[in-house]
Structure 1
Amino acid sequence: MGIEIASGVCLGVGLILWFWGTPVLLTRRSILFKLHHLSVADTLGSLAFMVGLLLRRPREWPLLLLAVFSLAMWNTVLGYVLAYCAHPLEQEHG
């Protein structure tokens, strides 16, 4: 019973983090700040989801570990690529 509660908490935290990163997109901050805030919230939310799923299905740990590793690598590389591509736009538009 305790594992199901912990799993539910992780899934709930993941859902909250997913939605927490979205309202920043509507602010007047720089595009790099928006991308950073959204990608951090999305990554942490997804990792919380993976932990919640791992608690519910402990026998699937190799697959979930692969998903966590892929998620961390993908979001890190994507964040650098987007920041690199957006950087000249920031200089041109102030």
Structure 2
Amino acid sequence: MVEFLLTFAGSLMLGSLLVLINIKAAYHPYHKTIPLIASSLLILGSGLYLSVIASPEGDTALTAMRQATSLAVNGLLATLPAVFALVTLMMLRISARPQ
């Protein structure tokens, strides 16, 4: 259960960090970025809090964040073979369609 909580917290932090990077990279003066930044920081903070609480050794916040984010990346990499198999099946289905 602890590993699931850490993976979930890591995915929250990873997603919010990616949103913050996207906001910085795609800045436009007419966009209202303050609500997006505030919600991303709120999600990042909740993921960090959850990872610190669920961390087994009572590590520092940075160590708990690193551990949770690495578990989230490992979870994403573990699902890639299934995604590749689905994409391959979809491509075969499209290419075998009668014309």
TM range (shorter): 0.3 to 0.5
The structure having more radius of gyration, on CA atoms, is: 2
Identify the structure with bigger relative contact order (alpha carbons < 8 Å, sequence gap 6+).
Answer: 2
Instruction: Calculate the TM-score normalised by the size of structure 2.
Output: 0.44
The structure that is helix-richer by fraction is 1
